[in-house]
Amino acid sequence: MKILKTVTGAVAAAAVSLFALSAAAQTYPQRNITMVVPFAAGGPTDTVARLVAESMSKDLGQQIIVENVGGAGGTLGAGRVAAADPDGYTVLLHHIGMATSATLYRKLAYNTLEAFDYVGLVTEVPMTILSRKTLETTDLKGLIEYAKANKDKVTVANAGIGAASHLCGMLFMSAIQTPLVTVPYKGTGPAMTDLLGGQVDIMCDQTTNTTKQIQGGTVKAYAVTTPKRLDVLPNVPTSAEAGLPNFEVGVWHGVYTPKGTPADVNERLSKSLQVALKDPNVAARFAELGTTPSSAEEGTPAALKAKLESEITRWKTVIEAAGQYAD
Ligand code: MLT
């Protein structure tokens, strides 16, 4: 009889916890949600996050508050979310750096493939190779010649090891076989301020942060890292056209929750993300900034999980070949 009681008790407990999970999801969200952006305010990740958060807030009926936690190429902000309560009230919006940091940092505060649950993909943003307006060069060939001739003084801005701007800069220096002086910031928002002021020479950054500056002529643009030219930047050649073949970098972004967040809460967040991806205002703003929303199918937990796993494998080989690590 005792065994039957134990089994019955276990089944009852399981039923209660399942009911509790779905009850949590049925009433979720009950309060504001924090969306951690692992870079400084005013940069490309922040821009994407605020557009998506605004649309998701309307769908969820609760405010998503963006919190910028910059530093260490995005790994400090990611670590904050990895350690947060898995209750659905802390989410992370991060990009390709989630995959590159898994190799670049041999002492991360979290295990990238074990510390997070998945909500979905958001967008894949092209990059642009820029210089300060006052640099004498007029095309990519000239920029490369100038960099090689002045390699000990030419400065390249990035948002820390693990950032998309770091990855693009690393690929650029590998492609021209010339190491340059790198200058790290907490985000390419502040880095852009210094580029505009002439305090730093070169930067590779996402169109979500560079389109308006390029259109305004306040920086020089040498290439876009896409197979075809961008409608919003018709006069900027692709990297292949500009003489840098096989130089394509797309900065994909995803939304994550701490591991252990109830599955149906992740699903509720994913459904809200998919509403945002179909929001005409989000699509219009993304288009103005040279990018497009991911599809609804990509806005699922499974799509983001698959993307992260494949990208960790892809970039591990490239990073190990470059031999550059954070620690
Ligand atoms: C940012 O939002 O500052 C950028 O995404 C940083 C980077 O990844 O280059």
Domain with residues 126-224, CATH architecture: 3-Layer(aba) Sandwich (3.40)
Pocket test for ligand 1, best of 48, 67, 95 (most atoms within 8 A of CB): 95
Find out whether 233 and 289 touch, Cβ atoms under 8 Å: no
Picking from 73, 308, 298, 96, the residue whose alpha carbon sits closest to that of residue 191 is 73
Find out whether 131 and 201 touch, Cβ atoms under 8 Å: yes
Q: Measured from the CA of 47, which atom of ligand 1 is nearest? A: 2
CA 286 / ligand 1 centre spacing (Å): 16
Q: Measured from the CA of 45, which atom of ligand 1 is nearest? A: 2
Give the binding-site residues of ligand 1, using a 6 Å CB cut-off: 39-40, 43-46, 95, 97, 159, 163-165, 187-189
CA 190 / ligand 1 centre spacing (Å): 10
Identify the CATH class of 29-125+250-322.
Answer: alpha beta
Domain boundaries, the chain: 29-125+250-322, 126-224
User: Is 29-125+250-322's fold the same as 126-224's?
Assistant: yes
CA 14 / ligand 1 centre spacing (Å): 43
Cα distances from 305 to residues 9, 18, 71, 152, 313, in angstroms, run 35, 24, 24, 41, 13
Question: pLDDT tens digits for the chain (327 residues)?
Answer: 455 555 566 666 655 555 555 566 678 999 999 999 999 999 999 999 999 999 999 999 999 999 999 999 999 999 999 999 999 999 999 999 999 999 999 999 999 999 999 999 999 999 999 999 999 999 999 999 999 999 999 999 999 999 999 999 999 999 999 999 999 999 999 999 999 999 999 999 999 999 999 999 999 999 999 999 999 999 999 999 999 999 999 999 999 999 999 999 999 999 999 999 999 999 999 999 999 999 999 999 999 999 999 999 999 998 998 888 897
CA 27 / ligand 1 centre spacing (Å): 34
Find out whether 67 and 58 touch, Cβ atoms under 8 Å: no
DSSP-assigned states of every residue in 20-79 = HHHHHHHH---S-EEEEESS-TTSHHHHHHHHHHHHHHHHHTSPEEEEE---GGGHHHHH
